[in-house]
């Protein structure tokens, strides 16, 4: 039995710093080189669990609360959990792994957080610092490996530096645009004694700047002078909790809004002002709205998600850029005005400046009554018709439109769908109606397959009282299906909906369009219902298209995680291509 009087170590100090940061979760696969950190987490669990609340909340110790550890079944799952947790909360969680293969397994999830702008902190173990100058077992340069996909990273070489390193890791991860940071902790440093008086650095509360009055006035004049403005809402609107201000602007000026895939929920898709999502190919219905627009107001728009060449191919469209950072340089994205700062406050000031003069000389009521100005109503109608065409279709396998319709019908407005990446993502983005912010989570910056199940587990931890669905294809599901055990063990009652087509459906779709034949995209699958039951999880499969809704409801009402396998008719992919034009530009 190891004595609980062990001296305070660098790993204990690291955990104290995590508590000072209000870090709620560490997701990890245990490893030899992270054992000291795991022991420190266990010690703080012993402390907080044994009634030592005063010590745990001692301001001098900086230990504010309990840090929960979630053991995952793969490091990629740990990284995706921290990734989606960061997107939903705006706060970093930790994804931790050991050296070598543990660290490399984290990389995909870290890269996803980097391009999806999700705050997270990756912590990796490493061999002792006395081995890093030479060849050693499992040792690779993790710091350099992580550098291209992190905002900042560092190796801990001195115990005294831990408070500054952890504070900087969390601060940089959270600052706009947020993303992952990385801290490497060699095992011999983790085990070193930490001075008793060495305390965490308390986090500050940085605020974003506001655009100048002159910039607001210039943008207001440009918007008021336009006749057919259109708002493009991106991930930044959700990230900065500015959806309410965006909706007020749209209603107040009666301006239509299109959202990127990661901006879904910025506007309620039930609103007649919503043009749904943009991000498919060059001639989807929504892009016609961009053709008609004489001004595009980009709010929280990120070029990494959807290139401006798709909606501004000749680079001549007037643009107002509203974001937390200046615009990226792009020949097709040259804003006339940039309003850089807090998005919520900027939108409210812009609305107040434009309201007295209206848009195109008309106030919201006049624009609502004028058919001449409401030129985009046909676009929304066309999209809804694409959904409605199959909502009562009883064909088998089930058509994607029917599957989307029944899922939306089964969920409440604030329930959460975490989409994986594949052909189903296109149908979710295009036709699944988002009613509230952060209720449809799509990876569309890095677009990593395998994110949906671990992401849904994180979403359930964030919102335990809401239904959470992981919607995935059979390809993406099996990339991280081992996390079913994690969901079962920790009581994350998510529902995994698998669209089964026995192939990589999106590549199948593109191959058919570009080459007229398939190659290397077909595979076999297990019986997913039996697979779920082997984990002690309920498994369901509808008997018919009409049985889909009752099946989804049974799964959602199950005590514990559940899996629903849906045979899907992806022949609709090619039919959609035929209706909308070439698929070559589809991302």
Q: What is the pLDDT of residue 339?
A: 98
**308: number of Cβ within 10 Å:** 23
N-term to C-term CA, the chain = 56
Range of weakest confidence among 53-62, 225-234, 264-273, 314-323: 53-62
Q: Looking at residue 584, what is its pLDDT?
A: 40
- Two tokens at 549? 């809704």
What is the rounded average pLDDT of the residues 555-567?
Answer: 97
Q: Which two three-digit tokens encode residue 534?
A: 């082997």
Mean pLDDT of 474-499: 98
Q: Which residues have a Cβ under 8 Å from the Cβ of 350 and sit 6 or more positions away?
A: 216, 219, 220, 223, 249, 322, 339
At residue 569, the pLDDT reads 94
- From edge to edge, which strands make up the β-sheet containing 94-97? 68-71, 25-28, 94-97, 120-126, 180-186, 152-155
Nearest by Cα to 79 from 103, 50, 52 = 103
Mean pLDDT confidence for 482-486? 98
In the structure encoding, which two tokens stand for residue 358, read together? 């209206």
**Nearby residues of 413 by Cβ (< 8 Å), 6 or more positions away:** 435, 436, 439
Q: Are strands 152-155 and 180-186 parallel, antiparallel or unpaired?
A: parallel
Provide the pLDDT for residue 571: 86
The model's confidence at residue 139, banded by pLDDT at 50, 70 and 90, is: confident
SS3 336: coil
Work out the average pLDDT over 375-404.
83
Which has more confidence, 306 or 79? 79
| Residue 117 pLDDT level (bands cut at 50, 70, 90) | very high
CA 196 to chain centre: 39
- pLDDT > 70: what percent of the chain? 91
Question: pLDDT tens, 149-186?
Answer: 999 999 999 999 999 999 999 999 999 999 999 999 99
95: closest CA among 124, 66, 115? 124
Identify the pLDDT of residue 332.
Answer: 95
Predicted confidence band at 228 (pLDDT cuts at 50, 70, 90)? very high
Query: Which of 47-51, 87-91, 119-123, 426-430 comes out lowest in average pLDDT?
Result: 47-51
Average pLDDT over residues 34-47: 91
Does the pLDDT of residue 283 top 70, yes or no?
no
pLDDT at res. 510: 85
Using the predicted structure, report yes or no on whether residue 482 has a pLDDT greater than 90.
Answer: yes
The pLDDT, as a whole number, for residue 78 is 98
Beta strands in 314-356, from DSSP E residues, in sequence order: 319-323, 337-340
What mean pLDDT value characterizes the chain?
90
| pLDDT (0 to 100) of residue 136 | 66
Residue 284 has pLDDT above 70, yes or no: no
Write b or e for each residue in 137-172: b if 16 or more Cβ atoms lie within 10 A of its Cβ, otherwise e.
Answer: ebeeebbebbeebbbbbbbbeebeebbebbbbbbbb
Predicted pLDDT of residue 406: 97
pLDDT band with cut points at 50, 70 and 90 for residue 419 = very high
Q: Classify burial at 345, counting beta carbons within 10 Å of its beta carbon; exposed 0-12, middle 13-18, buried 19 or more.
A: middle
Q: For residue 383, what is the DSSP state?
A: H
Domains detected in the chain: 10-190 (3.40.50.970), 213-376 (3.40.50.1220), 389-580 (3.40.50.970)
DSSP H or E stretch at residue 580: helix 571-580
What is the reported pLDDT for 586?
43
The overall pTM is greater than 0.85: yes
* CA count, 13 A, side-chain hemisphere, 491: 3
Cα 519–Cα 76–Cα 587 angle in degrees, nearest 5 = 45
3-state secondary structure of 542: coil
CA quadruple 300, 306, 309, 311: dihedral positive or negative?
Answer: negative
Q: Where are the beta strands (DSSP E) in 256-380?
A: 257-259, 274-277, 295-299, 319-323, 337-340
DSSP state, 432? P
Q: Taking residues 48-75, what's their average pLDDT?
A: 61
Report the chain's C-alpha Rg in angstroms: 25
* Mean predicted confidence (pLDDT) in 310-317: 92
Does 378 or 250 have the greater pLDDT score? Answer: 250
Query: What is the predicted pLDDT for the residue at 172?
Result: 98
Whether 92 has a pLDDT exceeding 70, the answer reads yes
Work out the average pLDDT over 119-134: 82
């Amino acid at each position: 039995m190891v004595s609980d009087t062990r001296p305070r170590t660098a790993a204990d100090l690291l955990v104290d710093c995590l508590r000072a940061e209000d870090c709620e979760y560490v997701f990890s696969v245990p490893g030899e080189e992270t054992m000291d950190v795991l022991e420190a987490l266990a010690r703080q669990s012993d402390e907080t669990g044994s009634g030592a609340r005063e010590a745990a909340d001692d301001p001098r110790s900086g230990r504010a609360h309990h840090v929960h550890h979630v053991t995952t079944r793969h490091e990629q799952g740990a990284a995706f959990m921290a990734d989606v947790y960061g997107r939903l909360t705006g706060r970093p969680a930790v994804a931790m792994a050991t050296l070598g293969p543990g660290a490399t397994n984290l990389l995909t999830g870290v890269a996803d957080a980097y391009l999806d702008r999700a705050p997270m902190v990756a912590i990796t173990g490493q061999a002792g610092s006395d081995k890093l100058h030479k060849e050693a077992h499992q040792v690779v340069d993790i710091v350099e490996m992580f550098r291209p996909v992190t905002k900042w990273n560092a190796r801990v070489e001195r115990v005294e530096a831990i408070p500054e390193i952890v504070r900087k890791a969390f601060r940089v991860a959270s600052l706009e645009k947020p993303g992952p940071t990385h801290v490497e902790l060699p095992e011999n440093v983790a085990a070193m004694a930490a001075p008793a008086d060495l305390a965490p650095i308390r986090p500050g509360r940085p605020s974003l700047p506001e655009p100048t009055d002159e910039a607001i006035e210039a943008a207001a004049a440009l918007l008021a002078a336009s006749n057919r403005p259109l708002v493009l809402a991106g991930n930044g609107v959700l990230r900065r909790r500015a959806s309410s201000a965006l909706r007020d602007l749209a209603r107040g000026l009666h301006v239509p809004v299109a959202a990127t895939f990661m901006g879904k929920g910025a506007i309620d898709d039930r609103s007649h002002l919503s043009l749904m999502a943009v991000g498919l190919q060059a001639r989807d219905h929504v892009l016609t709205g961009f053709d008609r627009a004489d001004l595009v107001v980009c709010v929280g728009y990120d070029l990494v998600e959807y290139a401006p060449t798709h909606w501004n191919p000749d680079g001549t469209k007037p643009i107002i850029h509203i974001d937390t950072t200046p615009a990226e340089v792009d020949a097709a994205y040259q804003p006339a005005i940039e309003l850089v700062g807090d998005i919520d406050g900027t939108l409210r000031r812009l609305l107040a400046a434009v309201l007295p003069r209206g848009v195109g000389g008309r106030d919201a009521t006049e624009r609502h009554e004028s058919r001449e100005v409401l030129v985009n109503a046909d676009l929304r109608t066309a999209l809804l018709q694409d959904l409605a065409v199959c909502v009562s279709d009883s064909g088998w396998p089930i058509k994607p439109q029917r599957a989307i319709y029944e899922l939306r019908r089964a969920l409440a407005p604030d329930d959460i769908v975490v989409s994986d990446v594949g052909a189903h993502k296109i149908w979710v983005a295009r036709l699944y109606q988002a009613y509230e912010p952060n209720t449809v989570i799509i990876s569309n910056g890095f677009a990593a397959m395998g994110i949906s199940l671990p992401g849904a587990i994180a979403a359930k931890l964030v919102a335990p009282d809401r239904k959470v669905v992981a919607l995935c294809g059979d390809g993406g599901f099996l990339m991280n299906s081992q996390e079913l055990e994690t969901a079962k063990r920790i009581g994350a009652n998510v529902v995994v909906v698998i669209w089964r087509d026995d192939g990589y459906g999106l590549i199948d779709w593109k191959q058919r369009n570009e080459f007229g034949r398939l190659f290397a995209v077909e595979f076999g699958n297990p019986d997913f219902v039996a697979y779920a039951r082997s984990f002690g999880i309920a498994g369901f499969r509808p008997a018919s298209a009409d049985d889909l809704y009752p099946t989804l409801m049974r799964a959602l009402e199950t005590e514990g995680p559940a899996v629903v396998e849906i045979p899907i008719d992806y022949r609709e992919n090619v039919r959609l291509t035929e209706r909308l034009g070439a698929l070559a530009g589809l991302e």
